[in-house]
């Protein structure tokens, strides 16, 4: 008999469709995060609803009883923990060269609900990655996981009254304080969210491939900041820094040499230890472009598609990583991407794209900061100051009397020193 789906069908009333229809399956952004957020939120909402009702003077516990609701609430909390551990194990396993379709790790996760096994897998992946930023959370995550493991190792304690050997669950516990649990669950939820933000960020960071066996991109950056200028990289001068790195990170001579090579080849880190200009656009052209952005009448700088693509790429990487997608390593990929885009654009579309580039001077400046192009930024700053002086000389009015200047000049001066930040 074929049933008409009325139980799990869509809302019938048109006015209710947008309010009460839940998106599932392929409809919308659905994944592990949806389940995690759902069980986490459900736990909090159920606990808050219960505590609120219990605190009422006329509460009689007829429909909402602590002794019965404890099971679905704690099952929901436990399932949130299980899903959280599984998601983080997968994320951490992807950081260093593992594919997201890795069958072996996924099979291990599918086969178990045991929090102890999950914790061992979690620790193994953290150890494999060797990133100190992950270690900061381990103790607190372990304590919460262990608490749940001791009372419900398999995920069945709060689902059924009896285990598979027909023994009653929870015989060692006479009561469970739900208000106390609520407070502890909120603390762990905050911790889990912070850890999830971290691993999400690390997925972006490790994607660019700047790491070694024992060092993250962040570690390499810190080493670069501690080094002398590249001109002074003689073996004698670097011995102290090599020893410091060994003591702090536990790396040997070979890995330290690998780090030095990464620093030299990285467009951002190389500019920590040198003033080399390595962007694929003539530096003078780039400076003139920045000056041109301030002019009401634009000069023809004869910028090639390649030049425009580099500038647009610089602007794009300026987007903060928490909201955006890019590190300085992406400058080459982005340049290639925009070059192809401009090459295939119509004349009208290209004019609009060029106009967009000229409207985003601040993003150009911030992008150069991200690339640590300090020397070039200083030259741009000097050029802006010189432009300021030249514009002042063209007016016979008091240079200190900003109110008497023509509106266009005043606007340019204000924009130069108010909106553009070099510090």
Contact 305, 342 (CB under 8 A): yes
- Whether 15 is covered by a domain: the verdict is no
13-17, 296-300, 337-341: the lowest-pLDDT one:
13-17
Give the rounded distance of the alpha carbon of 1 from its chain centre.
50
Tell me what pLDDT residue 2 has: 65
Shared domain for 269 and 388, answered yes or no, is no
- Whether 66 is covered by a domain: the verdict is yes
- Whether 10 is covered by a domain: the verdict is no
Shared domain for 39 and 170, answered yes or no, is yes
The torsion of the CA quartet 319, 320, 325, 329, rounded to 10 degrees, works out to 80
Domain boundary among 178, 207, 236: 207
Shared domain for 359 and 223, answered yes or no, is no
Provide the angle, in degrees to the nearest 10, between the axes of the packed helices 374-393 and 283-292: 40
Shared domain for 222 and 149, answered yes or no, is no
- Whether 5 is covered by a domain: the verdict is no
Measured between alpha carbons, how far is 417 from 384 in angstroms, rounded to an integer?
A: 9
Both tokens assigned to 269: 């880190």
Both tokens assigned to 151: 């009372």
- Whether 36 is covered by a domain: the verdict is yes
**Overall average pLDDT of the 319-347 stretch:** 89
Tell me what pLDDT residue 5 has: 67
Query: Per-residue pLDDT tens for 73-88?
Result: 999 999 999 999 999 9
Of residues 79 and 107, more confidence is placed in 79
pLDDT at 127 > cutoff 90:
yes
- Whether 13 is covered by a domain: the verdict is no
Q: CB under 8 Å to 178, separation ≥6 — which residues?
A: 47, 50, 51, 66, 70, 73
Report the run of H or E that residue 356 belongs to, with start and end.
helix 347-358
Tell me what pLDDT residue 398 has: 52
Tell me what pLDDT residue 401 has: 52
Tell me what pLDDT residue 266 has: 96
Taking every pair of C-alpha atoms in the chain, what is the biggest distance, in angstroms? 98
- Whether 193 is covered by a domain: the verdict is yes
Shared domain for 199 and 309, answered yes or no, is no
Shared domain for 186 and 231, answered yes or no, is no
Shared domain for 221 and 357, answered yes or no, is no
Quickly state the pLDDT bin for 324 (edges 50, 70, 90). Answer: low
pLDDT at 188 > cutoff 60:
yes
- Whether 397 is covered by a domain: the verdict is yes
Shared domain for 122 and 228, answered yes or no, is no
Highest mean pLDDT among 121-135, 234-248, 374-388: 121-135
Tell me what pLDDT residue 414 has: 53
Q: Which residues pair with 162 in a beta bridge?
A: 168
What DSSP string describes 208-232? TT---SS--HHHHHHHHHHS--GGG
Residue 34 φ then ψ, to 5°: -65, -45
Tell me what pLDDT residue 422 has: 42
Measured between alpha carbons, how far is 234 from 260 in angstroms, rounded to an integer?
A: 12
Quickly state the pLDDT bin for 399 (edges 50, 70, 90). Answer: very low
Q: Which of 272, 320, 228, 291 is nearest to 420 (CA)?
A: 291
Measured between alpha carbons, how far is 187 from 205 in angstroms, rounded to an integer?
A: 27
Q: Which residues pair with 147 in a beta bridge?
A: none
Quickly state the pLDDT bin for 111 (edges 50, 70, 90). Answer: confident
Quickly state the pLDDT bin for 419 (edges 50, 70, 90). Answer: very low
Tell me what pLDDT residue 205 has: 93
**Total residues found in the chain within this entry:** 423
Question: What domain range includes position 361?
Answer: 283-419
Domain boundary among 254, 273, 292: 273
**Overall average pLDDT of the 286-315 stretch:** 91
Query: Per-residue pLDDT tens for 26-65?
Result: 887 778 889 999 999 999 999 999 998 888 877 766 667 8
Shared domain for 64 and 159, answered yes or no, is yes
**Overall average pLDDT of the 202-207 stretch:** 93
**Overall average pLDDT of the 186-212 stretch:** 95
Domain boundary among 187, 207, 227: 207
**Overall average pLDDT of the 369-377 stretch:** 94
Tell me what pLDDT residue 396 has: 52
Tell me what pLDDT residue 169 has: 92
**Overall average pLDDT of the 220-241 stretch:** 90
Residue 277 zone, left/alpha/beta (φ > 0; ψ -120 to 50; rest): beta
162-171, 181-190, 331-340: the lowest-pLDDT one:
162-171
Shared domain for 187 and 55, answered yes or no, is yes
pLDDT at 198 > cutoff 60:
yes
Quickly state the pLDDT bin for 103 (edges 50, 70, 90). Answer: low
20-24, 331-335, 342-346, 369-373: the lowest-pLDDT one:
20-24
Tell me what pLDDT residue 191 has: 97
Rg of the chain over CA atoms, in angstroms?
A: 30
Shared domain for 198 and 252, answered yes or no, is no
pLDDT at 261 > cutoff 90:
yes
Shared domain for 30 and 124, answered yes or no, is yes
Both tokens assigned to 15: 């006015």
Q: How many domains does the chain have?
A: 3
**Overall average pLDDT of the 220-230 stretch:** 95
Of residues 344 and 98, more confidence is placed in 344
């Amino acid at each position: 008999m074929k049933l008409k789906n009325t139980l799990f069908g869509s809302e019938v009333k048109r006015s209710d469709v947008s309010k009460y229809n839940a998106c599932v399956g392929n409809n919308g952004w659905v994944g592990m995060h949806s389940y995690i957020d759902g069980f986490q939120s459900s736990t909090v909402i159920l606990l808050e609803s219960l505590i609120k009702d219990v605190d009422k003077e006329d509460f009689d516990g007829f429909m909402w009883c602590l002794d019965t609701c404890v099971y679905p609430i704690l099952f929901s909390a436990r399932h949130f923990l299980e899903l959280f551990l599984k998601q983080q194990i997968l994320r951490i396993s992807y950081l260093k060269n593992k594919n997201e379709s890795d069958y072996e790790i996924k099979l291990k996760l599918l086969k178990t609900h045991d929090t102890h096994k999950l914790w061992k897998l979690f620790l193994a992946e953290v150890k494999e990655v060797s990133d100190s930023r992950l270690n900061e959370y381990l103790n607190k995550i372990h304590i919460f996981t262990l608490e749940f493991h001791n009372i419900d190792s398999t995920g069945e304690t709060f689902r059924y009254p009896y285990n598979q050997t027909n023994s009653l669950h929870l015989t060692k516990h006479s009561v469970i304080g739900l208000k106390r649990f609520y407070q502890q669950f909120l603390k762990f939820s905050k911790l889990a969210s912070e850890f999830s933000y971290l691993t999400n960020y690390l997925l972006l960071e490790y994607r660019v491939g700047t790491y070694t066996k024992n060092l993250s991109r962040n570690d390499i950056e810190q080493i670069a900041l501690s080094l002398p200028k590249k001109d002074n990289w003689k073996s004698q001068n670097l011995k102290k820094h090599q020893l410091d790195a060994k003591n702090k990170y536990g790396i040997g001579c070979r890995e330290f040499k690998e780090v030095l090579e990464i620093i030299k080849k990285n467009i951002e880190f190389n500019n920590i230890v040198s003033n080399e200009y390595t962007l694929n656009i003539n530096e003078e052209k780039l400076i003139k472009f920045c000056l041109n952005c301030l002019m009401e009448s634009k000069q023809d700088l004869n910028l090639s598609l390649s030049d425009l693509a580099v500038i647009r790429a610089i602007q794009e990487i300026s987007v903060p990583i928490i909201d955006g997608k890019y590190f300085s390593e992406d400058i080459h990929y982005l340049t290639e991407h925009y070059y192809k885009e401009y090459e295939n654009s119509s004349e009208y579309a290209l004019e609009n794209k060029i106009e967009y580039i000229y409207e985003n001077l601040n993003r150009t400046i911030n992008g150069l900061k991200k690339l640590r192009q300090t020397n070039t930024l200083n030259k741009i700053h000097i050029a802006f100051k010189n432009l300021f002086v030249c514009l002042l000389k063209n007016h016979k009015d008091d240079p200190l009397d900003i109110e008497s200047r023509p509106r266009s000049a005043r606007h340019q001066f204000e924009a130069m020193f108010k909106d553009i930040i070099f510090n």
